[in-house]
Amino acid sequence: MLMSHRRRFFHISALLVAAGLSLQAAREIRPGFNLFSKDQDIQLGRESAQQVEKQVQVVHNQPDLENYVSQLGAKLAKVSAAPEYPYTFKIVAEKGINAFALPGGPIYIHATTIAAAGNEAQLAGVLAHEISHVALRHSTNQVSKAYAWQIPLALAGAMTGGSLVGQLAQIGIGLGVNSVMLKYSRDAEHDADILGARTMAAAGYDPVEMARFFEKLETQGGGQPGIQFLSDHPNPGNRVKYVSEEVKSLPPRQYTQGIPDFGRYKSAAARIPVHEARRDYQDQSSQNHPHPEFPSSEFREFRGAGFRLSYPANWQPYGKQNDPSVTIAPKQGLVQHSRGAVQIGMGAIAGFFSPDTHNLTAATDELVQDLRSKNPDLRPVRGQRHSVTVDGSNGESILLVGTSPLGNQRELDSLLTVTRPEGLFYLILIAPENDYNSVRPTFVQMQHSVRFR
């Protein structure tokens, strides 16, 4: 009987150890802070693909090679962490070794990258890595952190009928071949490596081949401009080592380096003439603009992700319920200039900003500095910074002054900030100086209505 209990104990212990390994293997890598929805990622990818394909030469005369890359990409996407995106895989005839992914699914790989891969598993590693950038939404995460207060306004401009890419371009966010959205941090690269390794393993490829190919490029690159992949995808460390460690946590299986006749596709890619990328795209539009409607006395409630607030019933929220941010403006409160830029002349923007500190005052200063870096005319009004309490949490209130897009006058912006687990919550209430006193009671009511989850 004692032996039976011991056997049972060791059996249970073995199960617990196995469960621990399974938990380690199943460690979840999630997308980070993001002001865009998944549908907006797809829209952004679709629109930006049109822009990118005006800058790079997509290969359309190599059906055998094109079908091969598309089928390999689809095989990997099917077992990826986000198979629901409408992935596409295209070859571009541009100089340099590189590959890049746009939000929502479009993936491009240079013909020279295919030619440089030593086997199919290495090419699969590049595609799995890019698929992981899409799945983890790294491009829109990066922009959400860098342009937190401006994104809701750009999204609002797109909802009024403008191009989402065009609106982002007007606040300095490009999606061309040299876009900052396509240059990732080392942390993003590490996560894309790990998720890419899991995708490769699920498809039957040896994940270590991905790391070996990237380190081969690192060794051969030596800072050469021909290997653009190295600057767009910075090495987060010893890739072979940590990918190999990740493989140990995955269920054991037999891996392959891919098809034996990969050299045929490698040679076909090497014969494709390459070109310099073109960079000549702009999106322009204009409209005339009357005075916006003043707020009504009736209010409605907007419930965002982590917050809720009341707003005038005759104003329009440009954002869905449970979104992490929203722009709320009256009719004609959004002003679209001849260059296509959308500014808010009267209304509110609410959401979360990702500062480098948890200290309220320092985080608020960082947000104000970010606002001013994108709108140098904006500045705090001296003596108009106060401590406030918002739904039981400590906050700050600051009055800012700038130039209104509504006529030749100044603009007053009332900024409210509160530190929350999601980041620095902000509410910016905006009005032309001539109208500020008239709408200020509404602004006060909106500030007092803020509640957190």
Measured in residues, the chain has a length of 453
Q: What is the pLDDT of residue 424?
A: 93
The pLDDT, as a whole number, for residue 23 is: 34
Burial of 349-362, coded b for 16+ CB within 10 Å and e otherwise, reads: bbbbbbbeeeebee
Going by C-alpha positions, the residue among 431, 432, 433, 453 that lies closest to residue 444 is 431
pLDDT of residue 337: 58
Its CATH architecture, for the domain 299-452, is 3-Layer(aba) Sandwich (3.40)
Question: What does the DSSP 8-state code read for residue 278?
Answer: P
Q: Which of 313, 279, 273 is nearest to 293 (CA)?
A: 313
pLDDT for the residue 203: 96
Structure tokens that stand for 125 in this block: 């590693």
Quote the pLDDT of residue 330.
Answer: 87
181: DSSP letter: G
Q: What's CA 402's distance to the chain center, in Å?
A: 29
Domain ranges for the chain: 31-270, 299-452
The predicted pLDDT at position 37 comes to: 87
Q: Residue 435: helix, strand or coil by DSSP?
A: helix
Distance CA 404, CA 187 (A): 39
Which residues of the chain, if any, have pLDDT below 50? 1-26, 222-225, 279-288, 338-339
